[in-house]
Amino acid sequence: MKIGFKGEKLSEKLFLATGILPEMAIMPFFSTVVSNAYLTAQRLDIFSLLEKNSLSVKEVAKKTEADEHGMRVLLEALTGFGYLERQNGKFQVSRAFRKSLDGNMSEMARGMMIFAPDIAKKFENLDKAVKTGEVENFHFTPITPSSWSHYLTFLKGVSKEPTKALVKKVKFDAPPRKMLDIAGGPAQYSIAFCRKYQNLEAIILDLPESAAAGEAEIKKAELEGRISYITGNFFETDWGGDYDFALLSNMLHCLTAEQCQTVIKKTFESLRPGGLIVTNDVDFPGEDEEIQMVAGWSSLLYFTMMGTRTHPTPIIEKWLSDAGFTKIKKTKIENSAQLICRK
């Protein structure tokens, strides 16, 4: 998958097919304006305002305490980009954008929309980060006072479909009884596994902010007796032991290569003999293999947010093998790779 221009009219499609347009140079120039318009609208709460109401420029400017001229230009631009529609001088969220916000993937779309301005703020420092290699991990230095709440809404929003797919993908010889969910976030994966396996008890390792959100989710799912947290930095907490199954979903990318190896070794020690470890992260290729758009995109995002990266899947495989895991099997769900193996 690549990002690029998509023609709507036949004449536009034909023009793009000629290849005359220097698309790779023009695309970032155009998308900078589009993405900044979108981020500004989100920061000013324009989308939630125009999702429920059809309003004039004057009314939007008044409600958002903004300048009327600036607001007019922004609303017109968002209309040109397809996010808004204008009728009789009033603006509202377009039918096309409403489809994203109300469709099957609406939780994912809304989660991304909420967290996007926080991500943009971190990207302001990318030059410095690349030059120095130093990045403050947003888990420990929050971007804004609301960024944790935005991040947790994002995590809940984006995990719905992948959670279902992962639970289907992982097969056990016998139903598991004790699961360790390392960096389990707001409990989505533990809840899904506990729903499938009636006698499963899950322990989640995570920071206090994720644990607080997860405890509310566990209560909603009526699984309070079966899922609990060991709260704190998992480099400092006691993980317990004798687990049948350990899940490391979307967490190795939060760590440096050295930290990943420490966590994998510690996971090995925490499992019972024969226990299963499952890693789940964006599939990043080994040296000299083709780097797909999502792999490069995710890695730069994680570097910008935490100073880390998407670790190449063959390297994770080596870390697992070095720690003593055997029978390593790789599976794929969309752009993510799972490595499933045994102690």
Ligand X SMILES: C[S@@+](CC[C@H](N)C(=O)[O-])C[C@H]1O[C@@H](n2cnc3c(N)ncnc32)[C@H](O)[C@@H]1O
Contacting positions for ligand X (CB under 6 A): 139, 155, 159, 183-185, 189, 205-207, 210, 233-235, 249-251, 254
CA 93, 96, 98, 100 torsion: positive or negative? Answer: negative
Q: Cβ closer to ligand X: 92 or 250?
A: 250
Question: CA 37 to CA 161: how far, in whole Å?
Answer: 29
Smallest distance, ligand X to C-beta of residue 187, A: 9
Smallest distance, ligand X to C-beta of residue 157, A: 10
Question: CA 115 to CA 134: how far, in whole Å?
Answer: 22
Q: Cβ closer to ligand X: 83 or 138?
A: 138
Q: Cβ closer to ligand X: 78 or 180?
A: 180
Q: Cβ closer to ligand X: 207 or 300?
A: 207
| Residue pair 338/278 in contact by the 8 Å Cβ criterion | yes
Smallest distance, ligand X to C-beta of residue 200, A: 16
Q: Which residue is nearest to ligand X (CB)?
A: 185
Smallest distance, ligand X to C-beta of residue 63, A: 34
Q: Cβ closer to ligand X: 191 or 205?
A: 205
Q: Cβ closer to ligand X: 121 or 266?
A: 266
Question: CA 284 to CA 309: how far, in whole Å?
Answer: 10
Smallest distance, ligand X to C-beta of residue 233, A: 4
Phi-psi region of 67 (alpha: psi -120 to 50; beta: other; left: phi over 0): beta
Q: Cβ closer to ligand X: 94 or 338?
A: 338
**Pick from 282, 279, 304, 289: nearest CA to 125:** 304
Q: Cβ closer to ligand X: 44 or 301?
A: 301
- Type and span of the H or E element at 302: helix 293-306
| Residue pair 210/227 in contact by the 8 Å Cβ criterion | no
Q: Cβ closer to ligand X: 104 or 233?
A: 233
Smallest distance, ligand X to C-beta of residue 120, A: 18
Single-letter code of the amino acid located at 75 = L
- Type and span of the H or E element at 7: none
Smallest distance, ligand X to C-beta of residue 315, A: 19
Smallest distance, ligand X to C-beta of residue 248, A: 8
- Type and span of the H or E element at 183: none
Long-range contacts of 316-324 (CB under 8 A, 24+ apart): 316/252, 316/260, 316/279, 316/281, 319/260, 319/261, 319/264, 320/264, 320/277, 320/279, 322/261, 323/261, 323/264, 323/265, 323/267, 323/268, 324/268
Q: For residue 301, give Cα distances in angstroms to 131, 254, 282, 305.
A: 16, 11, 12, 6
Smallest distance, ligand X to C-beta of residue 65, A: 34
